[in-house]
Amino acid sequence: MRKYKIILIGLLFFVCNAIAQSNLHQLQSNFVDLQFGVMLHFNMGTFTDEEWANPNHSPKEFNPGKLDCSQWAKACKAAGMTYGILTTKHHDGFCLWDSKYTDYDVANSPVKKDVVAEYVNAFRSQGLKPCLYFSIWDRHNGVENGGAKEEEFVMNQLTELLTKYGEIPMIIFDGWNWKMGHKAISYQRIYDHIKKLQPNCLIAEHNGNSPLQTDIVYYEGPKGVYPEGNNIYPSQMALTLTNGWFWHPGAAQQVKSVNYTLDKLQRVVPLYCNYMINIGPNRDGLFDEQVVAHLKAVGKLWKPLSARLPLPKQPVIPLEYLDVKSISSSDGQAFAEPAGPAGTGSPIAALLNQKTAGVMIDGISDLVGDRGGFGAFQTFWKFSQEKNRYLILDLGTEQTVSKFYYLPAQLKGYRGTITKYQLSASTDNQTFQQIKAANWDKTSNLKVSTFTRIKTRFIKLEILDAIEEAMISEVGLGN
């Protein structure tokens, strides 16, 4: 009887998981059908002439005396755009809404307007979908290195944003994966919290070109990151219309040509990648006249792509990421590239100075190949060239698990890729039972191994074959 009960529970889980995957795929498909949007960098940096504003400016400096979000919305509608993303809070921590968890917000500025509300209402009035940008990294309120108190602060502010303004189709995070990692501020806890508040809200992040821990892949164009020609991931990419994310003096004379925008639309939209023009409203709270003219001209020349095939079925990834408490491994060495101390724009110093196998579960898996701004980085473990190469993940307690994922070290070509492996499970870290043996392809893409749902505490990966020294950027377990 117990055997049949276990089978029934496993079957029920499989059906529920399949339904969840199907619902997510439909939301992703709907999103990439939007094709063209705007990213709006408008915050304290607009008034201080900084891309990353100092976190200690006075709220009084934020003073857009002629703020008109309707002007933004009408100009974007004229271009043929279908959605927007507003920087509700950038890395300096200034909030464009009245947050009860900080005084560093618009309520203490001369404007005393809820800019988020003005934006949401204006865009909806033009039939545009209002999405939000939110920086986890908040230098004013002390969310620098993560922690339980800081995580609660983030969740409280997200509750405000996702309960006060109606349906939000997508929220994009910054200053998280590439700054402090998804363990310092729990990815799964934040993800579950958002889906509880708004089940249809998609989650994206500035974390490179992998579907690992994101619903929508974000390619950061100014860093030289574009979708590959065979891209199948639901994604979006932004490029700045001027020489910065935020408005700076002289921006009106920097507006790129209409052909520049049309070229990017033609390049990326066929690849299931929405294209966004990043626009920085000026200090009056308006689009410059040159920006309005650019958008109007684009709208006359660009038409939505109608011949693209439906979004392909997506690779299997975990929808639930389990918290791995510790890891042990055969001999190897930890690497952070580029090497050196953490500086502005790099992860917290502790993450760049790791020496143990814990580098494989640090939550850092940045894949961005940087061509400007701060240096690209990744952390990974290189196994010694010995016969028995392995790692053991410890969940701390017995938990149900059905997926193992592995992200190879990036920007190495095929070098370091594990091509043949075996997975085993144990409840005591002594006796292991094989649960899967298979091959992985010779690419640096995210690998996910699915197996029969099992309750266990320890999962062991044995590396049976690899291209040169095996290298792992990130591993984990999930369902």
Range scoring the smallest mean pLDDT among 1-10, 35-44, 355-364? 1-10
Q: How confident is the model at residue 370 (pLDDT cuts 50, 70, 90)?
A: very low
Q: Judge if 322 and 278 occupy the same domain.
A: no
Say whether 438 sits in a helix, a strand or coil.
strand
Q: Judge if 144 and 181 occupy the same domain.
A: yes
**φ and ψ at residue 466, rounded to 5 degrees:** -155, 160
In angstroms, what CA-CA distances link 105 with 59, 131, 189, 423? 7, 19, 25, 50
Task: Judge whether 62 and 108 are in contact, CB under 8 Å.
Answer: no
Let me know if residue 375 belongs to a domain: yes
Mean pLDDT estimate for the chain: 92
Q: What CATH number does residue 49 fall under?
A: 3.20.20.80
Question: How far, in Å, CA of 26 to CA of 282, rounded?
Answer: 37
Instruction: Return the higher-pLDDT residue of 457 and 373.
Output: 457
pLDDT at 8 over 90: no
Q: Domain tally for the chain?
A: 2
pLDDT at 338: 67
pLDDT at 460: 98
Which positions ≥6 away from 374 have C-beta within 8 Å? 343, 344, 345, 346
Task: Judge whether 59 and 99 are in contact, CB under 8 Å.
Answer: no
User: b/e per residue, 76-97, with b = 16+ CB within 10 A?
Assistant: bbbbbbbbbbbbbbbbbbbbbb
Q: How confident is the model at residue 177 (pLDDT cuts 50, 70, 90)?
A: confident
As beta bridge partners, residue 105 has 95
pLDDT at 119: 98
Task: Judge whether 32 and 235 are in contact, CB under 8 Å.
Answer: yes
What residue numbers bound the domain in which 155 lies?
A: 26-301
Q: Judge if 276 and 345 occupy the same domain.
A: no
Q: Judge if 355 and 328 occupy the same domain.
A: yes
- Mean per-residue pLDDT for 298-309? 95
pLDDT at 473 over 90: yes
Q: What length is written for the chain?
A: 479
pLDDT at 372: 39
